Chain A
């Protein structure tokens, strides 16, 4: 391709179709170079790297420790003198030691003081056939547990004393898979939030800063189709999202966090791609409306942050109040989180992610159409 002067036109504008392979390769040249420029811009932006790759991992640490400590706490019991009923019950059933921590003292006054100060949950004393449990009503839940545990112990002791075989036996079974620990919901939730912010902020900030420094107009005067610009942005954002997914999963599956990926976890990747498209479209709309980078950041935050709470990212929907569960149905983040959760940590089949993917794609299509309508090349 020569760039001659005035009269020899024609040669400059390649006609589509019937071209040599080299020329066909050149059709992708703008797309490739734009993607390269954008990914370099991302990799060299330390703040962006931190927020999209490290920040979510910090959240995983934080939330992981919060939810870990929320498992049922043990009851601290202090024995005053010898309490044979309790000792026999503990010897008979090891399960009791999962509920109770037992210490000993000889002074009733010290024990009662400990209960008042809430350093102990209960003080027990046995005088012949009478078991006395001292407890505080300051924490009603603990008080309830203390009462029911000890009445259970006394009943079991009475039954053993009567020398009859028990007529009924109770066994309990948790409905969830035994592996469904907090990390199993936290990972898809926080990963969903990370992908959502990455895609939305990336698109919004690029669009606004390119409009501000007039790069958009410059590109408009270059022989580059809008398609090349948009597909390059999509390709870079999807690549970033997949990178986020792999880094996040690699960290979450470390023994310290203990995430167990279920058999169809790879199905999370198409879900991630659909989610990226949905949140890119949000970013596109924000970028089309916002005039400055500050405004774009504020608007994107205003959308993503509440959604993280209401869409099941920060508060797993299973534990969330009823109204949040209702509201979550209109949050695109919900479908990204639940879609990933089904296939990566609940062990559902690959097809279980399809409805979520469909909803995310539909959302992306609608929002992109709106964004294109309000899009401006210029600041005026």
Chain B
């Protein structure tokens, strides 16, 4: 079966800046795909070319077997988009906003009201969009993208400006969307978000895709040592060293920490000695993969 989205060698330059420099990826039907990268990596430009908002300088893109550029009226009813800004009509209530979008897609108003329930905004249906909180506005924006039951949904940094509660709250909503069989493409610079939501991610920087794969594969590929720590004083220094040969052992008076590439052995031996109080195991995260690939220097 052909993929839902296929991009081949996409290129886009603004003057001398190569914003997107040969990007290739595929997204299968029903897949939750993430494009991960720091600010200015070229994520949004890539997404815009796939959506059909920008003409690529080079390369090819097809969505649901159709070319998105130039503006393709046959494709538009089958994709849903959520842009970075809250793109709303001025001075309309949440319900009016969603009903207007429903009308634009020739979907009955009852579907708009149903969507308002799905994103949990029924209680603020009569509130003007200018008065909604950041999280509520994002939910409404996502509802507008989904009101016509599109096959493919594009979400550009949906949790961009939200606080931790707002983000987790939105994640539940996004998982629900994915469970309904929509193909979802999401851009983000939050690693935890990509790790928890996406089945597959592409890590992007300087206009290129550096690595593509499932979050777990990418993390395993790093072969980073795991940190195991228990309460200090459960084992003597000598005892601890003997228990885990090859591991680095430190004791700062609060925690006894093993840094090891063979966490299974260490954990089994700690269990044998009944020394698991205050156990914490920290593995590599997508963040480590990301920093490993893109470097640690700060970029504004």
Contact A222-B104, Cβ < 8 Å, known A33-B99, A213-B87, A215-B88:
yes
Contact of A223 among B52, B73, B88 (CB under 8 A): B73
Contact A218 B81 (CB under 8 A): yes
- Shortest CB-to-CB span from B185 to chain A, Å, is 14
Report the contact-size class of chain B (Cβ under 8 Å from the partner): 35 or more
- Residues of chain A within 8 A (CB-CB) of B107 are 1, 3
Contact B85 A29 (CB under 8 A): no
Query: Which residues of chain B in 134-174 are interfacial with respect to chain A, using CB atoms and an 8 Å cutoff?
Result: 144, 148-151
Q: How far is the CA of A160 from the CA of B244 in the complex (A)?
A: 140
Query: Which residues of chain B in 91-109 are interfacial with respect to chain A, using CB atoms and an 8 Å cutoff?
Result: 91-92, 96, 99-101, 103-107
Residue of B nearest to A27 (CB): B106
Residue of B nearest to A224 (CB): B104
- Shortest CB-to-CB span from B293 to chain A, Å, is 28
Query: 1/0 contact trace for A218-256 toward B, CB 8 Å?
Result: 111111100000000000000000000000000000000
Whether a CB of chain A sits under 8 angstroms from the CB of B197 is no
Whether a CB of chain A sits under 8 angstroms from the CB of B284 is no
Contact A30 B103 (CB under 8 A): yes
Whether a CB of chain B sits under 8 angstroms from the CB of A209 is yes
Q: How far is the CA of A319 from the CA of B106 in the complex (A)?
A: 56
Whether a CB of chain B sits under 8 angstroms from the CB of A376 is no
Query: 1/0 contact trace for B286-297 toward A, CB 8 Å?
Result: 000000000000
Whether a CB of chain B sits under 8 angstroms from the CB of A82 is no
Contact A209-B105, Cβ < 8 Å, known A3-B150, A12-B78:
no
Contact B74 A41 (CB under 8 A): no
Of the candidates B29, B76, B183, the one having the most CB atoms from chain A within 10 angstroms of its own CB is: B76
- Residues of chain B within 8 A (CB-CB) of A370 are none
Contact B89 A37 (CB under 8 A): yes
In the complex, number of A-B residue pairs with CB atoms less than 8 Å apart: 97
Whether a CB of chain B sits under 8 angstroms from the CB of A173 is no
Contact A214 B83 (CB under 8 A): yes
Whether a CB of chain A sits under 8 angstroms from the CB of B119 is no
Whether a CB of chain B sits under 8 angstroms from the CB of A164 is no
Contact B81 A45 (CB under 8 A): no
Classify the interface of chain B: helix, strand, loop or mixed: loop
Contact B90 A6 (CB under 8 A): no
Residue of B nearest to A30 (CB): B104
- Residues of chain A within 8 A (CB-CB) of B280 are none
- Residues of chain A within 8 A (CB-CB) of B52 are 221
Q: How far is the CA of A41 from the CA of B130 in the complex (A)?
A: 12
- Residues of chain B within 8 A (CB-CB) of A209 are 90
User: 27 pairs across A/B with beta carbons < 8 Å?
Assistant: A1-B107, A3-B77, A3-B148, A5-B151, A6-B4, A9-B65, A9-B78, A12-B74, A12-B78, A29-B106, A33-B100, A34-B100, A37-B100, A38-B89, A41-B89, A45-B90, A213-B86, A213-B88, A214-B84, A215-B88, A217-B53, A218-B81, A218-B83, A220-B71, A221-B81, A223-B73, A378-B53
Which 6 pairs across A and B sit closest by C-beta, in order of nearness?
Answer: A33-B103, A3-B149, A218-B87, A44-B91, A223-B76, A215-B87
